[in-house]
Amino acid sequence: MRLSHSFVPTIKETPSEAQIASHRLMLRAGLVRQTSAGIYAWLPVGFRVLKNIERVVREEQDAAGAQEILMPTIQPAELWRESGRYDGYGKEMLRIVDRHDREMLYGPTNEEVITDLFRQSVKSYRELPQILYHIQWKFRDEVRPRFGVMRGREFLMKDGYSFDLDYAGAVVTYRKMMLAYMRTFQRLGLKAIPMEAESGPIGGDLSHEFIILAPTGESQVFYDAAFEEIDYLGQGADGFSHDNVADLERFFKLMTNNYAATDEKHDTAKWAQVDEGRRREGRGIEVGHIFYFGTKYSKSMNATVAGQDGKPVTPEMGSYGVGVSRLVGAVIEASHDDAGIIWPDSIAPFKAAILNLRRGDAACDALCEALYAKLGAAALYDDRDERAGAKFADADLMGHPWQIIVGPRGAAAGKVELKRRAGGERVELSPEDALARVGA
RNA sequence: CGGGGCGUGGCGCAGCCUGGUAGCGCGCGUGUUUUGGGUACACGAGGCCGCCGGUUCGAGUCCGGCCGCCCCGACCA
């Protein structure tokens, strides 16, 4: 992308409504703009990040055996009356009446729709288990949206739903999803801690929330250092396979036997038993929540399959949510400095920015164009007619993992400067070596 | 929903108490200058002062109502 012809409205001054770092930086770096309270438009750079996070989430869901579908945003009230949640959900649900006076709603979650889909088509125990997910916009009319995209009213969520024949199967599926989540967060460059949670309005009795560590997080968390040491993406004996029940059990024990709690549930007696050198404390942001809720929906909505003996069996369900749009903000909270965002390589909107410090200088222009041709869509070429200082500031603000700096002095000598955003290391080298280090 | 605050060129703000021709900084445009970490100067464009009503000779300023946004609390991905 050429910055001179792009819609990347960066701003120098902080808009007064933005109080927290991620919100401020998302506005300043031109990632999003607010349309109304808790509702945002995603601009080119922000949208790229959103899609990158979505991609990682999708890959890990697929790897765990979940199948992607797409359910509608608008749902009939009727289904929610069946499950008994229509009246209970309250004002958070955006209710709509269509031209025929039918009651509809903009879905805040999809248990009812998925259960309806399931009961229409799945008839035998032999078709179980099933894990289905989609990545789609939700609307919850929060009383007080805040923190930019971290708590919007409209937000992008990956929500998955599982159907198992019995409790034992449901537990395996639950652990599978938990592993998928830990792998996802690791790939996003985040340190995540799973914590036992109340199941809330969705209902059920086994539930974990995933807190990612960020210095500006909302809640204080206490956890065992073990969580920072585990490599969820690891292979071999130390790794975990989604398909191996023993692995999943070992994994689940690691997740539940090590101490982890938010300040509200902090148990000082148990905390004291954790080896002193392994006690970790920090701030955290909730980015995911998984539930086992048994037959709450399958029962109320009459979803059954034929069991081995031909008699109807009510499947055991679970649901698995991760806030995709919230993650954009959460990643920034976890990874930024005074100058701006520091994107993890896995989701950065661009791998590298090419900074042409002297536009119009033949050697600079030629070198930049050559680099840009090689990097293509992976690069943001700052070919604007701006001063060097502005280019450096914007590149830092936007947080590209690499900056390839091309100035007249270097260009004459066939050299460029390569800067790593995280850590700020700068080296002078040949364009070829720079491309190699960037990984092109 | 309870409590608090704020709406004035694109952004950040002053002006309001004490009514009398709408300002500052940044940004934007043109020109000159400068050029390796937000260059300097000059000129210029851009505002029904959130909306509606009231008081007044006269309202950004006073009064009433409404709308929007932000912060704290309860709730959530």
What is the end-to-end Cα distance of chain A in Å, rounded? 16
Residue A64: band (very low, low, confident or very high) from pLDDT cuts 50, 70, 90: very high
For residue A30, give both structure tokens.
């031109």
Look up residue A203 and give its DSSP letter. Answer: -
Return the pLDDT at A199.
56
Return the pLDDT at A200.
52
How far, in Å, CA of A221 to CA of A228, rounded?
13
Residue A17 has pLDDT above 90, yes or no: no
Inter-CA distances, A62 with A49, A138, A156, Å: 20, 21, 18
3-class DSSP state of A143: coil
**Tens of pLDDT, residues A338-347:** 999 999 999 9
Q: Report how far Cα A1 is from the mean position of its chain's Cα atoms.
A: 24
Q: Which nucleotide is nearest to A34 (CA to C1')?
A: B69
Inter-CA distances, A408 with A353, A374, A434, Å: 17, 20, 17
B58 C1' to A404 CA distance, Å: 62
Rounded to two decimals, the ipTM of the complex is 0.92
How far, in Å, CA of A63 to CA of A393, rounded?
39
For residue A162, give both structure tokens.
């599982």
How far, in Å, CA of A305 to CA of A169, rounded?
15
How far, in Å, CA of A264 to CA of A273, rounded?
19
The residues of A between 231 and 260 with beta carbon within 7 Å of nucleic strand B are: none
B54 C1' to A41 CA distance, Å: 40
| Single-letter residue type at A318 | G
How far, in Å, CA of A72 to CA of A84, rounded?
20
Q: Which of A109-113, A216-220, A255-259, A329-333 has the lowest mean pLDDT?
A: A216-220
Give yes or no for CB of A17 within 7 Å of strand B: yes
The fraction of chain A above a pLDDT of 90, given in percent, is 81
For residue A98, give both structure tokens.
């269509």
- Any residues with CB less than 8 A from the CB of A100 and at least 6 apart, and which? none
Inter-CA distances, A270 with A223, A276, A278, Å: 11, 12, 13
Give yes or no for CB of A19 within 7 Å of strand B: yes
For residue A157, give both structure tokens.
């969520």
Q: Which nucleotide is nearest to A153 (CA to C1')?
A: B76
Residue A136: band (very low, low, confident or very high) from pLDDT cuts 50, 70, 90: very high
For residue A248, give both structure tokens.
């999943």
Of A212, A164, A179, give the one whose Cα is nearest residue A60.
A179
Give yes or no for CB of A13 within 7 Å of strand B: yes
Q: Which of A108-112, A199-203, A314-318, A387-391 has the lowest mean pLDDT?
A: A199-203
Give yes or no for CB of A204 within 7 Å of strand B: no
Return the pLDDT at A405.
97
Give yes or no for CB of A141 within 7 Å of strand B: no
- Any residues with CB less than 8 A from the CB of A133 and at least 6 apart, and which? A61, A66, A67, A68, A69, A158, A159, A160, A161, A320
Of A32, A43, A66, A253, give the one whose Cα is nearest residue A159.
A66
**Tens of pLDDT, residues A198-213:** 655 554 568 899 999 9
**Tens of pLDDT, residues A253-293:** 999 999 998 887 888 889 999 999 999 998 999 999 999 98
Q: Which residue is nearest to nucleotide B73 (CA to C1')?
A: A144
Give yes or no for CB of A160 within 7 Å of strand B: no
Look up residue A406 and give its DSSP letter. Answer: E
Average pLDDT over residues A239-247: 93
Average pLDDT over residues A362-370: 94
Give yes or no for CB of A361 within 7 Å of strand B: no
Return the pLDDT at A205.
60
B25 C1' to A11 CA distance, Å: 15
- Burial (CB count <10 Å: 0-12, 13-18, 19+), residue A300: middle
Q: Which residues pair with A280 in a beta bridge?
A: A223
Q: Which nucleotide is nearest to A9 (CA to C1')?
A: B10
Q: Which nucleotide is nearest to A324 (CA to C1')?
A: B77
CB A169 within 8 A of CB A320: no
B69 C1' to A162 CA distance, Å: 40
- Entry pTM: 0.95
The fraction of chain A above a pLDDT of 70, given in percent, is 98
